[in-house]
A and B are shown apart, each in its own frame.
Chain A
Amino acid sequence: MTGGSVYLHIAVAAGVTYLVRMLPFALLRREVRQPFMRSFLHYVPYVTLSVMTFPAILHATEHVASGAIGFGVALVLAYLGRSLVTVALAASVAVFLAERLLGV
């Protein structure tokens, strides 16, 4: 993989991302009415984020077990309604502690 292709990826990603954000802003004065599209757009983020999180989260750390623990901690805190920062940091701390205990 050459260096050039990475920049092209970045450019493509940035371009598409910007267009995706911009077009509705600039063009749409009213809400999306069409029921199916509205529902679809509503559900998309939940599917995308969930798919990307699991099972990848288990492999994000040195050991699957600590990944699982971090996953559990994040779930609990998110369920309790904690902020984004709190959940993210708490999960990190949990992983750190877990790995100490597991001797990884």
Chain B
Amino acid sequence: MRDGIPIFLGYAAVSFSFGILAKKAGLTPFQATLMSGTNLTSAGQFAALGAIASAAPYLETAALQLVINLRYSLMSCALSQKLDARLPFRHRFFMASGVTDEIFGVSVSGDGKLSPFYFYGLMVAAWPGWVLGTLLGVVAGNAMPASLLSALGIALYGMFIAIVVPPARKNGVIAGLVVLSMLASALFGWLPVLRDISAGLKTILLTVLLAGLAAFFFPLKEGGGE
């Protein structure tokens, strides 16, 4: 649980930013907190906000969550390698709800088999941090001066950048992909026809397209475990 303290703090700060954005999108405090409590994903929740704000069809929200959180599938795969094969099924069910970037990062770096209770310890730190931060963000958002709101609004994006840049630095393909993704995203915002596509749909389209192209032209080398 001690290892979870940085996660708690980090989540509180970032989810605060999410709370602010949620309020902007028109969610009530209860709705925003419920969202954080059930979802526990920064990228996914944020994208869902876009879908809700534009009153998108539910199918789009589902597809959006599927694509964005697909990386969690990969993390789950990697983590499943570290689990004792004899682990009772119920542990797998509960652990599944806690797979996030940071929790994954901490869990996967440990030696030996991953104990479910260590994982739960991390979740106990992360979940309240995430939910509480959201609540504060939505509620206090009104009481704060615009300047502070503006500054904190960027925290979530800061986190995304912190996740994406370090690997990009080490790997040219990823670096190129990141730059290309950003350019493509901006392009969608400017071009007349593409501009009308909702944010959610844009994310899905570009993800499938660009990740697919990358996988085709730059497949991962065999033999390396992820």
Question: Least Cβ distance of B148 to chain A in Å?
Answer: 7
Contact between chains at B207 and A48 (CB < 8 Å): yes
Contact between chains at B207 and A47 (CB < 8 Å): yes
Total number of B residues with any Cβ neighbor in A under 8 Å: 102
Contact between chains at B220 and A38 (CB < 8 Å): yes
Contact between chains at A21 and B72 (CB < 8 Å): yes
Which of A18, A20, A43, A74 is the one whose CB lies under 8 Å from B161? A74
B217: nearest residue on chain A (CB-CB)? A39
Flag whether B124 is at the interface (Cβ < 8 A): no
On whether A1 and B74 interact (CB within 8 A), knowing A51-B184, A88-B14, the answer reads: no
Question: Least Cβ distance of A24 to chain B in Å?
Answer: 4
Which chain A positions have C-beta within 8 A of B31? 6-7, 10
8 Å CB interface, A54-86 against B = 54-57, 60-63, 66-67, 70-71, 74-75, 77-79, 81-86
On whether A95 and B150 interact (CB within 8 A), knowing A9-B48, A50-B185, A75-B161, the answer reads: yes
Which of B44, B77, B79, B165 is the one whose CB lies under 8 Å from A78? B165
Question: Closest 3 interchain pairs by CB?
Answer: A78-B165, A50-B181, A39-B215
Which of A's residues lie within 8 Å of B, judged by CB?
1, 3, 5-18, 20-26, 28-29, 31-32, 35-57, 60-63, 66-67, 70-71, 74-75, 77-79, 81-93, 95-96, 99-100, 104
Given contact pairs A43-B211, A60-B153, a sample of 7 additional A-B residue pairs in the complex whose CB atoms are under 8 Å apart: A17-B44, A26-B92, A40-B215, A44-B67, A46-B167, A63-B150, A85-B6
